[in-house]
Amino acid sequence: MTIQPAKLSDPAVRAFVHAVNSHDREGFMALLAPGATMADDGSDQDLAEWIDREIFSSHGHMEVDNESGGGRVLLARYSNDAWGEMRTKWRFTVDDDGRISRFETGQA
């Protein structure tokens, strides 16, 4: 069963999913802490390049199936124009100021 983004527990993660699904690049970038990092399938990636390729230029979309870790770990069906749909796991590190300093994703 899909969890509606508005019902996600962690405010930063909730805003992240909303920004991805509404293709709001500006809103997405505002959620990230300065110097934020990310990894895909265990390999660190260039954040700006990755989000362009995997989210914004390819119409990325997240359907969240499960959350854990206080809302900072998601199991989601992720789809984009490049890869179609796949089951993915997302793990977020949120700073004290509520901004995301790191996220990691990969196939689940």
pLDDT for position 21: 98
Return d(Cα 83, Cα 16) in angstroms, integer. Answer: 20
Return the pLDDT at 1: 78
- For position 33, what pLDDT does the model report? 98
Check pLDDT > 90 for residue 3.
yes
Q: Which of 49, 32, 31, 28 is nearest to 40 (CA)?
A: 49
CATH number, domain containing residue 60: 3.10.450.50
Backbone angles phi, psi at 44, to 5 degrees: -60, 140
pTM across the whole model: 0.96
What CA–CA distance (Å, rounded) separates 99 from 71?
A: 14
Q: Give per-residue pLDDT as tens, 16-60.
A: 999 999 999 999 999 999 999 999 999 999 999 999 999 999 999
Q: What is the DSSP letter of 99?
A: -
The pLDDT value given to residue 12? 98
pLDDT tens for residues 68-108?
999 999 999 999 999 999 999 999 999 999 999 999 999 99
Expressed as residue numbers, the domain containing 56 is 5-107
**What total number of domains does the chain contain?**
1
